[in-house]
Structure 1
Amino acid sequence: MPRLQSGVWKHFTPAIKEGRETFMCNYCLKTYTKNATKMQMHLDKCKEYSVVSQQSPGPDGSSSASIPVPSFSFLPSATPGGQFLIDSVDQRSQAHADECLARAVYATSSPLTLTDNIYWKRFFSVLRPAYCPPTREVLSSHLLDCEYDRVQSQVHEAIGKADCVTIICSGWSNIKETGTIIYVVATPVPLFYKSATTKEQTYTSTFIAEELKDIINEVGPQKVFAVVTDNAPEMMAAWAQVEEAFPHISAIGCTSCGVQQLFDDTVATPSMTALCRRAEQVVRYVKERKLLAEAFRCWQTSNIRNHTANGTTLALPINSDWTGVVNMFTSLLEGQNSLQEMAVSPTLDVEASIRATVQDAAFWKGLSGSRNLLYLIGNYIDYMKREDAALSGVVHLFSQLRYHIGASLSGSVLHSAEQKAVMASLDRCQEFCVKPIHAAAYMLDPKHAGQQTLSGEQINSAYYVISNLSHHLNLDEGKVLGSFARFSAKQGLWKGAGIWSSCQHVSASTWWKGLCSSEPLSAVASAILQIPPATGACDHLRSRFCNVKGQGSLPADRVQKLVALQANLNLFEPSDCEYAPLESEEEKKVSFQSETQ
């Protein structure tokens, strides 16, 4: 058997065993320390090794790697009773495999170091021994650029086919005083469009307005009907500049951001702050003392058996969202009996201030009422972040929120002046979140027909929006308003009960497009009802940015491309061409004949 001292390394897989670098034979799995001579001698005698790696010209003139594959029970033999199958990968197949692997890595948010992992290398070797997976450097450069360009063309194609799009914009700052602004184009499917990383001094309303106007011009001003942003002052200040440049576009605030501000204002009241401080003191005191923590666990177990408690443990407000404080309050309330038993136990040494808090009935009453109030507000935050949240639901949401908050304030720890402050915060929240286009969406949503609770001012503002969009869409305003009158009075097309029951089974925009497309109002209504009420899509992307940045030091443009692929790849159905064979049947025949000769 010929000796190939220079190529010996590719027949062994490096690994770390008991702190030492070792090399395992790819054929019989025997392990050696790093010694080229001994490893070559092993290859000469290895019964599983028969054919040496070689380069042979492929049918198209390109080179193809041939690798001997050991005859394990799960691999086919070349001939009956034979020991090896000669595997080969030509350049074309290698490139196609790299593309598919890269796409899978990007779509699943897998680490770019995946292909450097020894276990993944062995897995690829079992599937296709001759295939050499791309390195981290290749995954983060050439392959990333190619896949990004391919998916971006799909994004632009989807935007081009949409009849109504919304620009969603949200930003945040990090400790290095740089801001990252995310821009999403909803078709209504939320597609990641771009991001901008800026220094704090350039994070101005003018900068944001110019960015938004550039995106609007890129995707086509005629099909953009709204811009949705978070509640940063710079964002809100940019609204007027956008609306001045494009009079048919409505700039609105993210509803979940507005309600989150209401939650933060409520927690920031002096009485609620004091309650949070007392609650956290109790939780920390018990959790940080091993004897008390174990006693609490035992008491909880006993109370669970007596059906006076559940298995919840004490929780600190570690979450940055609204659930942190609510979870802490809930854990205390569910452990109340255990904590009170511990406080009076003669065998446990509990600090006097903690004992006084645990035995204070007013503390528990305020904790319960305040938890209910905060939980109520928090639920509305999550509700507006849902993918199925509708612009038409915002008006109804605030009427419900106002009613429930008014009923819950009295049970909280807030005194009268603080309760008034919370209601004032609710007014500011509603002013930020509810605009004329929300009123128009509410009036046009068939699910809210017959439930009109709008003020005269809101109704007039809705008429103005409908008229304005009619002109923008080159529709006859009189015919559009006449159609709206028939819709409101349930006459003509809307006279039967069947058409109204159908709206419970489809989205409002689909209802207008599908069943009411013959009406002049249809184009206006379907456009308005496709507008999302919140920047939830940007919030999901923000977490993706943090995860990608955590993988290592990548340039900002690489990070943006990775996030764009992670977000957008899963929104498009794979096309047949992505999996089409790379070779024709004739090429396969030539390749087969070449390999068998």
Structure 2
Amino acid sequence: MQQHLLTCFKCPQAVKKQINDVNKSQSNLTPESTTTSLNTENTSTENIRNLREEFAKALLITGTPLAMVEHPLWVNFFEKLNFKLPNRKSIATKYLEKIYKEMNKEISDDLKASNFLHLQCDGWTDVCNEGIINFLISKPEPVFIKSLNTLDNRHTSEYLSCETEKVMKSYGVSKFVVLIGDNARNVQKSFEMIKNKYPHIVPLNCAAHTMNLLCVDVIKAPEVKAFIDLATDFIKNIKKSQILSALLSKIRKEKSSSQSLKLSCKTRWGSHVSALKSLKINKAALQTLAVNENLQPTPDIKSTLLDEDFWSMIEQSISVLEPIAESIFKLEGNEFNIHEVFMVLRNLKSKLEFVLPTITMLDDESKENIKTYIERRVKQCKKPIHYAAYMFDPKAAGIELNQEEETEAMELIYNLAEHCNIDCLADLAKYKAKEGLWSKPFTWKAAEKVNPILWWNMWLNEDTVPDRSDMEDTDDDMLHDAAMEGQIQEDMESSLREDIWNDMEPVASTSRQTNHIEFVNISECLYDTDSD
């Protein structure tokens, strides 16, 4: 009809003009409409892909069983949201590999851009009887880097030092300040071997682990060991009996107590104290159980519960072991607490020396042995870096350090500063004497409200921080070998990750620029260290 009207000589010109205008507008709109439709379709496809990746990432990181994507209730729920779940195989292969590589690259780039790093490692045997060594790097936040299956390699100091050095070379050896491991001789010897090669490295043993060894030493005392064994057997007997456990639970509710009996565990440090405390808290409920007319416990259990000497020994054991457990809880974890190690050890020693004379369950020989254990473990744990960190804690400024300890701290600071190409002795003297900037009262008042790292960052001039992100090892052969080894390791890990996820069972499971103070960089690298 439009074509007829356009060609008909009887059709008014005004009508023909309107038809032409409409055709022009339609010809202009059609391509745009098509483009918009295509863009919308592309955007929608991309959004769906991104959503699936985010879903897979959340699933993998939280450890959610992959069987979730196959459960009818979850499938039905996401269908109502118009979202199709990725299948289990694609999550365990395509998405897992992609997410792993992205996160690994992000962590690696972040560590390579850091100025100071600290390496932590720990080894054990897993449930499959395979030797595993885990490596973490603190910047100062701890980041998991590598899990090494040692296969048939013996955990000798030479092997451990070689594997540790490989990890350090991956991010630049010159950036590393501290190596932290447990107290095993092979681990500490491997650290010394690395220090001989790289003198700026500071080897440390784990402070919390050392305190746990002290706890083990104390429990070795014959009187303490015998009583701990008695208390453990008693708790086991109560827990093994369904009737006694149920009746004890009922009595606890009547007495408004929610604390159940706890057993100690070798892998949970300080758990002996938790077990003894659980007995102490449940004393009234347990004694009520002992005289219950409806259910009489065995004579051994009844006599133990009604014996005041038993409860007195619980009190004494707690008074000896609790200060050690408190020191473990204070030092373990991811907090920046290296500056607290010195005073924690000092206070622990003072508390135990004060308590021991009041413990009647120990004879004089056992007390002297425990004092020897305390001296040995504290000496084993304290290092010059702890003195230096305590000196850089603005709340204390090293006030409790003796002359020898202060000298060792300043020597360490000088050596680290020399390694970092920083001249800090003049500023350190002003800090100790509270001169210059440090003569201002507001600087010390601020220290009362913030942690040491934040306090030092307040005075940190970014220009004084040496850029160490490019300080990588320059040996081409070494870098090539490391790259080849990394590729092989990545291929092995890729295959392993796929096998693990495929075999999983569906079980629920600001710096403010002020004065030019160079030695704050040393304090930064000290506080970056995690005492664990």
2-side partners of 1:200 and 1:358: how far apart?
51
- Aligned-partner SS, 2:150: strand
Aligned positions of 1:414-433 closer than 5 A: 414-433=362-381
2-side partners of 1:367 and 1:200: how far apart?
46
TM-score by length of 1: 0.68
In percent, how many aligned pairs have the same letter? Answer: 23
- Aligned-partner SS, 1:420: helix
- Aligned-partner SS, 2:121: strand
1:373 counterpart residue number = 320
1:114 counterpart residue number = 68
2:521 pairs with one of 520, 523, 539: 523
Deviations 1:260-283 (A, max 9, x none): 111222223322221122223333
1:468 counterpart residue number = 415
Deviations 1:148-189 (A, max 9, x none): 111122112211332211111112112543221111111112
Q: Give yes or no for contact 1:226–1:250 (8 Å, CA) kept in 2.
A: yes
2-side partners of 1:338 and 1:152: how far apart?
53
Q: Normalized per residue, which structure has more strand?
A: 1
1:576 counterpart residue number = none
Q: Give yes or no for contact 2:336–2:527 (8 Å, CA) kept in 1.
A: no
Q: Post-superposition shift, 1:340? A: 3.3
2-side partners of 1:275 and 1:510: how far apart?
46
- After superposition, the Cα gap between the structure-2 partners of 1:328 and 1:390, relative to the gap in structure 1 and judged at 3 Å, is closer
* Amino acid paired to 1:459: E
2:224 counterpart residue number = 272
1-side partners of 2:71 and 2:289: how far apart?
51
Aligned positions of 1:319-334 closer than 5 A: 320-334=267-281
* Amino acid paired to 1:198: T
Q: More displaced, 491-500 or 230-239? A: 230-239
2:352 pairs with one of 382, 391, 405: 405
Q: Post-superposition shift, 1:301? A: 4.9
2:335 counterpart residue number = 388
Q: Give yes or no for contact 2:459–2:517 (8 Å, CA) kept in 1.
A: no
1:487 pairs with one of 387, 407, 431: 431
- After superposition, the Cα gap between the structure-2 partners of 1:359 and 1:398, relative to the gap in structure 1 and judged at 3 Å, is same
2:456 pairs with one of 502, 512, 521: 512
Which blocks of at least 5 consecutive residues in structure 1 are unaligned? 1-57, 65-86, 305-309, 535-597
* Amino acid paired to 1:475: I
1:105 aligns with 2:49: no
Aligned positions of 1:34-433 closer than 5 A: 92-128=46-82, 131=84, 133-199=85-151, 201-301=153-253, 303-304=255-256, 310-317=257-264, 320-344=267-291, 348-409=295-356, 410-411=358-359, 413-433=361-381
2-side partners of 1:288 and 1:156: how far apart?
50
2-side partners of 1:181 and 1:145: how far apart?
23
- After superposition, the Cα gap between the structure-2 partners of 1:321 and 1:265, relative to the gap in structure 1 and judged at 3 Å, is same
2-side partners of 1:199 and 1:139: how far apart?
29
Q: Post-superposition shift, 1:394? A: 0.7
2:385 pairs with one of 437, 456, 460: 437
Q: Post-superposition shift, 1:533? A: 0.9
2-side partners of 1:447 and 1:336: how far apart?
42
Q: Give yes or no for contact 2:207–2:381 (8 Å, CA) kept in 1.
A: yes
Q: Post-superposition shift, 1:472? A: 0.8
Q: More displaced, 284-293 or 221-230? A: 284-293
2-side partners of 1:376 and 1:200: how far apart?
41
- Aligned-partner SS, 1:138: helix
- After superposition, the Cα gap between the structure-2 partners of 1:90 and 1:382, relative to the gap in structure 1 and judged at 3 Å, is same
Deviations 1:54-100 (A, max 9, x none): xxxx989x9x9xxxxxxxxxxxxxxxxxxxxxx99976444323211
1-side partners of 2:281 and 2:454: how far apart?
45
Q: Post-superposition shift, 1:206? A: 1.4
Q: Give yes or no for contact 2:132–2:147 (8 Å, CA) kept in 1.
A: yes
- After superposition, the Cα gap between the structure-2 partners of 1:283 and 1:89, relative to the gap in structure 1 and judged at 3 Å, is same
1:500 counterpart residue number = 444
- After superposition, the Cα gap between the structure-2 partners of 1:119 and 1:233, relative to the gap in structure 1 and judged at 3 Å, is farther
Greater relative contact order, per chain length (Cα 8 Å cut-off, separation 6+)? 2
- Aligned-partner SS, 1:331: helix
- After superposition, the Cα gap between the structure-2 partners of 1:112 and 1:427, relative to the gap in structure 1 and judged at 3 Å, is farther
Q: Report how many aligned residue pairs link the two structures.
A: 443
- After superposition, the Cα gap between the structure-2 partners of 1:59 and 1:378, relative to the gap in structure 1 and judged at 3 Å, is farther
Please tell me the root mean square deviation across aligned C-alpha atoms, in Å: 2.8
* Amino acid paired to 2:342: V
* Amino acid paired to 1:213: E
2:491 counterpart residue number = none
1:12 counterpart residue number = none
- Aligned-partner SS, 2:365: helix
Which blocks of at least 5 consecutive residues in structure 2 are unaligned? 1-33, 462-515
1-side partners of 2:428 and 2:422: how far apart?
13
- After superposition, the Cα gap between the structure-2 partners of 1:198 and 1:59, relative to the gap in structure 1 and judged at 3 Å, is farther
Q: Give yes or no for contact 2:140–2:527 (8 Å, CA) kept in 1.
A: no
1-side partners of 2:135 and 2:449: how far apart?
31
* Amino acid paired to 2:197: A
Q: Post-superposition shift, 1:200? A: 6.1
Q: Post-superposition shift, 1:484? A: 0.9
1-side partners of 2:147 and 2:242: how far apart?
47
1:446 aligns with 2:394: yes
* Amino acid paired to 2:103: V
* Amino acid paired to 2:314: L
Deviations 1:414-439 (A, max 9, x none): 33322333332223322332211111
2-side partners of 1:511 and 1:165: how far apart?
20
Q: Post-superposition shift, 1:230? A: 2.0
Q: Give yes or no for contact 1:367–1:413 (8 Å, CA) kept in 2.
A: no
Q: Post-superposition shift, 1:452? A: 2.0
1-side partners of 2:134 and 2:243: how far apart?
48
Q: Post-superposition shift, 1:398? A: 0.4
2-side partners of 1:192 and 1:393: how far apart?
24
- After superposition, the Cα gap between the structure-2 partners of 1:177 and 1:469, relative to the gap in structure 1 and judged at 3 Å, is same
Q: Give yes or no for contact 1:370–1:412 (8 Å, CA) kept in 2.
A: no
Q: Post-superposition shift, 1:453? A: 2.0
Q: Normalized per residue, which structure has more helix?
A: 2
* Amino acid paired to 2:74: W
1-side partners of 2:292 and 2:81: how far apart?
64
* Amino acid paired to 2:232: E
Q: Post-superposition shift, 1:317? A: 3.2
Q: Give yes or no for contact 2:178–2:204 (8 Å, CA) kept in 1.
A: yes
* Amino acid paired to 1:97: L
Q: More displaced, 489-498 or 159-168? A: 159-168
Q: Post-superposition shift, 1:300? A: 4.1
- After superposition, the Cα gap between the structure-2 partners of 1:462 and 1:113, relative to the gap in structure 1 and judged at 3 Å, is same
Q: Give yes or no for contact 1:392–1:445 (8 Å, CA) kept in 2.
A: yes
